[in-house]
Amino acid sequence: MDWDKLRIFHAVADAGSLTHAGDTLHLSQSAVSRQIRALEESLGTTLFHRHARGLILTEQGELLFDATSSMAKRLDTAEARIRDSEEEVFGVLKVTTTTGFGSLWLAPRLTKLYDRFPDLTIDLMLEERVLDLPMREADVAIRMKEPSQADLIRKRLMNIRMRLYASEQYLAQRGVPQQIEDMRHHRLICQNPNAAQVAAGLAMVQNLTSYEIPSLLYVNNYFGVLQGVLNHIGIGVLPDYLTDDFPHLVPVLADVHSAEVPVFLAYPEELRQSKRIAAFRDFVTEEIMAYRKRQMDEAVPA
């Protein structure tokens, strides 16, 4: 198969339109169409269904698109490795983590990383879905469990727990619960048990809701839960790493917490020599060490 035709096919399949693919490739629509027809003729099959709303891949087209997608990701990896300078850190680094950790802990600290490496571009992808690192959906991940994918380098960063927190104003108005049964008199802010979340947090929420709490606010990420707590709506289930940046959160029922949740940093073995990966890994490690030290200092009696 002709590599140039495969490149054009991939652009058309990705865009779903000859016109949009042509714009991306800087080719006319007719030139793109000719190349697609030639590829279909060489393969002896139809790759697209044509209709008024655009192009849809046939079964054979899907098979070829899977192959060209894999090729494109491998080429991205090769380009990233080639572009990695021995002395400088620049270019795009695709980072994935959960919405809560990414928005509440990681993003506020990125100023320090950019101060060190002003030519670095971070593509921060916040979602609960586990992206495929070997297939280059992302370059590096911070996950709330040990990655199970093969060919990954992984580093355990820390352990966290989910705990209960409220604002001073809320507790002044509604009182401080002394035992878990007292939660029946308070509004609970947490993730819906049907939402994607770490197992330890889910178990904690399920235990709390078994006490027939009359009023709840469900939010599908910890950023929203935090906003509810800060605005005095109720008592929230939140990860304990937040206390470092939000010192006004008041812990509630210290004995009620989730099991420990490990936090891992992971990246593909093939990116072991990447300067961008090394810069990001070292930055996160330094921030975690500083966080741990502050936690230990606060735990030591004055």
Q: What tens digit of pLDDT does each residue of 130-185 get?
A: 888 877 888 999 999 888 877 899 999 999 999 999 999 999 999 999 999 999 99
Higher pLDDT, 122 or 195: 122
The residue type found at 201 is: G
pLDDT bucket at 279, cuts 50 / 70 / 90:
very high
- The rounded distance, in Å, linking the Cα atoms of 232 and 108 is 23
Find residue 141's DSSP bridge partners.
96, 266
Integer angstrom CA distances of residue 174 from 91, 179, 186, 205, 211: 51, 14, 7, 21, 18
Classify residue 197 as left (phi > 0), alpha (psi -120 to 50) or beta: beta
pLDDT at 1 over 80: no
Of the listed ranges 18-22, 111-115, 229-233, 262-266, the one predicted with least confidence: 18-22
Predicted local confidence at residue 73, as pLDDT: 81
Of 13, 1, 86, nearest to 44 (Cα)? 1
Task: Tell me what pLDDT residue 147 has.
Answer: 84
Give yes or no for residue 87 having a pLDDT over 90.
no
Position 81 pLDDT exceeds 90: no
pTM above 0.85, yes or no: no
For residues 193-203, give the mean pLDDT: 83
Q: For residue 148, count other CB atoms closer than 10 A to its CB.
A: 8
**DSSP characters over 116-170:** H-TTEEEEEEE-SS---TTTTS-SEEEESS----SSEEEEEEEEE-EEEEE-HHH
What is residue 199's predicted lDDT score, i.e. its pLDDT? 85
